[in-house]
């Protein structure tokens, strides 16, 4: 672990240059402890580092560094695995055929591979509610679009290079859209996100009829999201 000042009001903690679940557990544990420190304004975790922003009037670099080093010896907390099941209609995938042609897999094989594993949420960022997921089958790796779309609909599920993710808001983007979920990942009215760092996502294929049924239920606040603890 390396700790260094970025400027007078921020610190960068670098755990590794690799990405792994073990490093994620260390980041998650330290993230929760750092949040409780006096003078800390915000804590931004990533795949393998943590950025700390602090109030110079309440703390300083040396004090924070000493506390962080104390946290390094804390035992990892192996919580239960929380899996959020996300229904996805792959029939609405604008680029499903593109991914199929690039990978050499059939449409059915792309869907089966994408929906057959649990994805760890390493962090939330980019836009509010956007989950950075790890664990995608490398066979699905597909380069981003040469010309990004000016608008991708909220709920779109995409593949960008070696990553997969879900667009929580309508934004520009260059990922290959392979499906769409009727769930809302970000509640703008209450500034709440559906998914959290450390949880897992499992994509569940659904038909277009199921998509519209769930979409209506979500709009009426009558849909119960399936969460499995194991």
User: Domains in the chain and their CATH numbers?
Assistant: 2-71 (3.30.1360.40), 82-229 (2.40.100.10)
Q: Is 108 exposed, middle or buried (0-12, 13-18, 19+ CB in 10 A)?
A: exposed
CB-based contact 175:145 (threshold 8 Å) = yes
CB neighbour burial string for 37-50, b if at least 16 within 10 angstroms, e if fewer = beebeebebbbbbb
Answer yes or no: is pLDDT of 78 > 70. Answer: no
- pLDDT score of 86 more than 90: yes
Give mean pLDDT, residues 27-37.
89
Please report, for residues 7, 177, 217, the alpha-carbon distance to residue 183 in angstroms, rounded to integers and kept in the order given: 40, 16, 10
Question: What's the average model confidence in pLDDT over 2-23?
Answer: 90
Residue 77 pLDDT > 70? no
Does the structure show a pLDDT above 80 at 140? yes
Beta carbons within 8 Å of 30's beta carbon, 6+ residues apart: 13, 50, 68, 71, 72, 74
Q: What's the rounded mean pLDDT across residues 51-76?
A: 90
Predicted pLDDT of residue 13: 95
Q: How many residues does the chain have?
A: 230
What average pLDDT does range 80-101 have in this prediction?
96
* DSSP letter assigned to residue 143: P
pLDDT category, 76, cuts 50, 70, 90? low
């Amino acid at each position: 672990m390396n700790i260094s000042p970025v400027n007078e009001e921020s610190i960068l903690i670098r755990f590794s240059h690799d990405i792994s679940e073990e490093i994620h557990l260390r980041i998650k544990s330290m993230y929760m402890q750092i949040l409780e420190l006096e003078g800390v304004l915000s804590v931004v975790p990533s795949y393998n580092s943590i950025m700390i922003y602090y109030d110079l009037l309440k703390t300083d670099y040396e004090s924070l560094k000493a506390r962080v080093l104390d946290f390094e010896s804390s035992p990892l907390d192996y919580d239960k695995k929380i899996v959020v099941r996300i229904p996805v209609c792959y029939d609405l995938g604008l680029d499903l055929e593109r991914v199929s042609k690039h990978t050499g897999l059939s449409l059915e094989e792309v869907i089966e591979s994408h929906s057959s594993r649990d994805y760890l949420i390493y962090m939330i960022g980019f836009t509010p509610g956007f989950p950075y997921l790890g664990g995608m089958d490398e066979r699905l790796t597909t380069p981003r679009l040469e010309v990004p779309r000016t608008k991708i609909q909220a709920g779109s599920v995409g593949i960008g290079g070696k990553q997969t993710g879900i667009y929580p808001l309508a934004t520009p983007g260059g990922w290959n859209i392979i499906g769409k979920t009727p769930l809302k990942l970000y509640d703008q009215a209450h500034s709440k996100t559906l998914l959290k760092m450390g949880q897992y996502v499992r994509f569940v294929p659904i038909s277009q009829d199921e998509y519209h049924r769930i979409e209506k239920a979500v709009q009426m606040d009558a849909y119960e999201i399936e969460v499995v603890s194991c």
